[in-house]
Amino acid sequence: MRHLICDKSARLDLPHLVSQPRRCLIPVMRDYLNLHDARHNSGCHMHAEHHDLIAILIIKSRNGSLPTHHNPRRAVRKQDFQPQMEMAMQSLKYLGMMFPLWLALAASAAPSIQSEPIQPIAKAVIRNPAMVELGKKLFFEPRLSKSGFISCNSCHNLSTGGSDNLSSSIGDHWQQGPIRSPSVLNSSLNVAQFWDGRAKSLQEQASGPIANPREMASNHVLALDVLRSIPAYVNEFDKVFGNRNVSMQQVTMAIAAFEETLVTPDSRFDLWLKGNKQALNAQELRGYQTFKTAGCVACHNGPAVGGNSFQKMGLVSPYQTSNPAQGRAGVTGKDADRMAFKVPSLRNVALRAPYFHDAGAPTLEAAVATMGKLQLGRAFNQQEIGDIVAFLHTLTGKQPRIVLPVLPASSNDTPRPTPFN
Amino acid sequence: MRHLICDKSARLDLPHLVSQPRRCLIPVMRDYLNLHDARHNSGCHMHAEHHDLIAILIIKSRNGSLPTHHNPRRAVRKQDFQPQMEMAMQSLKYLGMMFPLWLALAASAAPSIQSEPIQPIAKAVIRNPAMVELGKKLFFEPRLSKSGFISCNSCHNLSTGGSDNLSSSIGDHWQQGPIRSPSVLNSSLNVAQFWDGRAKSLQEQASGPIANPREMASNHVLALDVLRSIPAYVNEFDKVFGNRNVSMQQVTMAIAAFEETLVTPDSRFDLWLKGNKQALNAQELRGYQTFKTAGCVACHNGPAVGGNSFQKMGLVSPYQTSNPAQGRAGVTGKDADRMAFKVPSLRNVALRAPYFHDAGAPTLEAAVATMGKLQLGRAFNQQEIGDIVAFLHTLTGKQPRIVLPVLPASSNDTPRPTPFN
């Protein structure tokens, strides 16, 4: 792959790279970083324009196209994909587990907070309170399910870290779901939704479970019939969207708007990042150092400490599981994507054992040990595991304060739930 | 039964009555009221001391003994059963459907609000905020169930009127429950808990579903093991109860303390009762008049508009249902109590179709029509039904404002949920 880089200037042959398949990109990035590390030692720095171009390249390779904002009424502007670019930059920095050298590089040029591979989570900015309020109602609305019993909150329980914390979720008629429910907290920071990234946005994700026969088991026609039969809902959709039609696009847009508010700022780690050096104790700091030097940060970086790339589960040695999920390959159809899953965010991770897509690790300690072996080829000792787990506990942020919505009553015309047939 | 009343003074032979079985009491009361109605017309009033004595008698006949306050550390004082006495007085007034005569009687002697058979609901008084907060956590705690999926709030959903509004509830492994879930809202005003009153208090009720194999399907040992394994819970129990044992008595006491706050004051009807004569429109007022004159108020009276007596479902003609529940007879073992159910509170009734213990009435209109026929022998016409339903809608009060609790994380020692075995 070295031929893709113009050795002399250490610049990338970008036109050539754009045409390459995704699997070729990672080794190129690694070589690029190696080269720059060598050059850094001789006083040469990377060019800023390359960062932007490579970030766009990574986004294209992940999504097939540049991302568009979930609000279709807005034109796509550069700012709209700035967060993804920043996340992609983070991925780029740590691909190939080049962290230690890169840290030195970054530290030489940037203030403290920017030199860390993890950034603080920003507080939620609520632009449309009425839409968020409607979205909250819909998130807690069991009548969007066939049974009238299951709401978004059933499997993404906001009392318990935004997830049900079961090995696999419970769907209509107590069907066992195929995979461990991911947390909805900070999910707006994910590069895509679901473990396999099959939904590009929160809005796209939200429509899935309603109509999935193994989850809420309704369908979009029935779900809309329910909402349209309830005058208070029709009035609220009218207030938010300016019409009384109630469409699935409106439903999912409102749910996504609510979910975008579900961020967890002000963890102890974030306080430390922002300069409160008393926020972490010695063990937690040691754990963070190990997390960085061991290479965990190669995938778990950015504001969400993950969530921004797909990686093969079992990079160094294969992951043994009875769960049939094949990850990203189910979306791309590519054999190279087999067992590639979205790297989960480690924000609030201490709230939601068990871990991994198959819930194969019952505790944080087990998860850290397994990740070390399978992804990094490294057997952490007990102290290292304890230290990393102590650090992970500092990622628990301020949980969203949710006033339980009071849902409008069904009318006589509302289709009744049918839980038992 | 007339011999039980000393005709001359129109006073009850109380020592004799105390020894009588419950089924003998109702006709005695009716005769007593008839006698007093006659005497009222000739200028004679009932003696206040009789009211207290009869109320105590009714409580005894319902519960087998005088009620004790749920907090065992407090001595029983007269104030502790004052609310029950007042409810019993309401029942007494309307037993035998003597409402119209009684209304005239009461109106002649009391100010407006006291002359109505329905009283406003008082706002919740929170005496022990720490216990209420702990109780709220436990109410939303899915780990009290075997599956880790079902909490009190699953079937008594505070977003939807304190109930799941299904024909029958969904239990562990999607088992169909035997009966429609009653609302937890204003349940502290009930004479007893469950449709058949088998739990004397909210505290007694709370322990039932946790260990019921058709509901939460856990057991008390396991539920306590879960709570004791979570340090934040142990600390919170310690703060509230002064010890770190965590007992089922503490769990249910805290849940009951939370449930006691779930009252719904300030309905439009309550505003009207308190003197705001603009709070109801003409149809709603007409509905209330019909509700009174037709005799609905014989059972649906007091602050909760029901909840204070057991009555036979199908008094005038039998209730046809495929639901095998036999009501109060299952508790007392008495044939006379067959199909006697606790009269449900009509507070917030518009929020929670379908109606009756078997959910046999899909709408309020159907429920009113059926009640008229079966309990009063009266076929309401369409206008009467519409008026009564309009009145019932005014009983929807201010719903409790619940900030969703953030539950403490499981520890490595917490027994894991087992939803699929």
User: Which of B147, B166, B233, B392 is the best substitution to test chain A (most A C-beta atoms within 10 A)?
Assistant: B166
Angle (deg, nearest 10), helices A129-139 and A231-241: 140
Q: Which amino acid is at B261?
A: T
Phi, psi of B204 (to 5 degrees): -65, -40
Contact B406 A416 (CB under 8 A): no
> Which chain B residues are within 8 Å of A412, Cβ to Cβ?
353, 362-363, 365
| Residue B213: Cβ within 10 Å count | 13
Residue B115: per-residue pLDDT? 85
Residue A317: per-residue pLDDT? 94
DSSP-assigned beta bridge partners for residue A361: A355
Residue B45: per-residue pLDDT? 36
Q: Could you tell me which of A161, A119, A69 has the C-alpha nearest to residue A304? A: A119
Using CB atoms, which residue from A147, A160, A350 is nearest to B170?
A147
Rounded to whole angstroms, how far apart are CA atoms A356 and A325? 12
Indicate whether A12 pLDDT > 70: no
> Which chain A residues are within 8 Å of B176, Cβ to Cβ?
419-420
Dihedral sign of CA atoms A382, A385, A390, A391 in order: positive
Contact B149 A140 (CB under 8 A): no
Residue B113: per-residue pLDDT? 66
> Which chain B residues are within 8 Å of A148, Cβ to Cβ?
164-166
Contact B165 A410 (CB under 8 A): yes
Residue B269: per-residue pLDDT? 98
| Residue A239: Cβ within 10 Å count | 12
Pair of tokens at residue A253: 């847009």
Residue B20: per-residue pLDDT? 57
Pair of tokens at residue A378: 């490294």
Rounded to whole angstroms, how far apart are CA atoms A108 and A60? 30
Q: What is the mean pLDDT of residues A107-117?
A: 61
Task: Determine the Cα angle at B85 with ends B83 and B91, to 5°.
Answer: 110
Question: Would an 8 Å CB–CB cutoff place B415 in contact with chain A?
Answer: no
Phi, psi of A12 (to 5 degrees): -80, 145
Question: Would an 8 Å CB–CB cutoff place B176 in contact with chain A?
Answer: yes
**Distance, in angstroms, between B204 CA and closest chain A CA?**
26
> Which chain B residues are within 8 Å of A354, Cβ to Cβ?
416
- pLDDT band for position A115 (50/70/90)? confident
**Distance, in angstroms, between A379 CA and closest chain B CA?**
21
Phi-psi region of B342 (alpha: psi -120 to 50; beta: other; left: phi over 0): beta
- pLDDT band for position A114 (50/70/90)? low
Rounded to whole angstroms, how far apart are CA atoms A327 and A332? 10
Helix, strand or coil, per DSSP, at residue A199? strand
Residue B112: per-residue pLDDT? 60
| Cα atoms in the Cβ-side hemisphere of radius 13 Å centred on B416 | 19
Q: What is the mean pLDDT of residues A379-408?
A: 98
**What are the DSSP E strand ranges found in A16-146?**
none
User: Which contacts of A162-166 are long-range, i.e. CB under 8 A and separated by 24 or more positions?
Assistant: A162/A187, A162/A262, A162/A348, A162/A352, A163/A352, A164/B142, A164/B148, A164/B149, A165/A351, A165/A352, A165/A353, A165/A354, A165/B148, A165/B410, A165/B417, A166/A359, A166/B147, A166/B148, A166/B149, A166/B417, A166/B419
Is B418 exposed, middle or buried, given 0-12, 13-18 or 19+ CB atoms closer than 10 A? middle
Segment A67-86, tens digit of pLDDT? 333 333 333 344 444 555 55
Q: pTM (2 decimals)?
A: 0.78
Residue B60: per-residue pLDDT? 42
Question: Would an 8 Å CB–CB cutoff place A160 in contact with chain B?
Answer: yes
Segment A21-63, tens digit of pLDDT? 544 555 555 455 444 444 443 333 333 334 434 444 444 444 4
Residue A215 annotated in active site: yes
Indicate whether A150 pLDDT > 70: yes
ipTM above threshold 0.85: no
Contact B170 A419 (CB under 8 A): yes
Q: Of A107-111, A242-246, B170-174, which range is least confident?
A: A107-111
Low-confidence ranges of chain B (pLDDT < 50): 1-10, 22-23, 26, 30, 33-81, 93-111
Question: Would an 8 Å CB–CB cutoff place B362 in contact with chain A?
Answer: yes
Contact B159 A406 (CB under 8 A): yes
Residue A396 · residue A267 · CB < 8 Å: yes
Residue B217 · residue B194 · CB < 8 Å: no
Helix, strand or coil, per DSSP, at residue B403? strand
Distances (CA, A) of A151 to A83, A200, A206, A217, A223: 30, 22, 11, 11, 12
Interface of A with B in 298-357 (CB under 8 A): 350-354
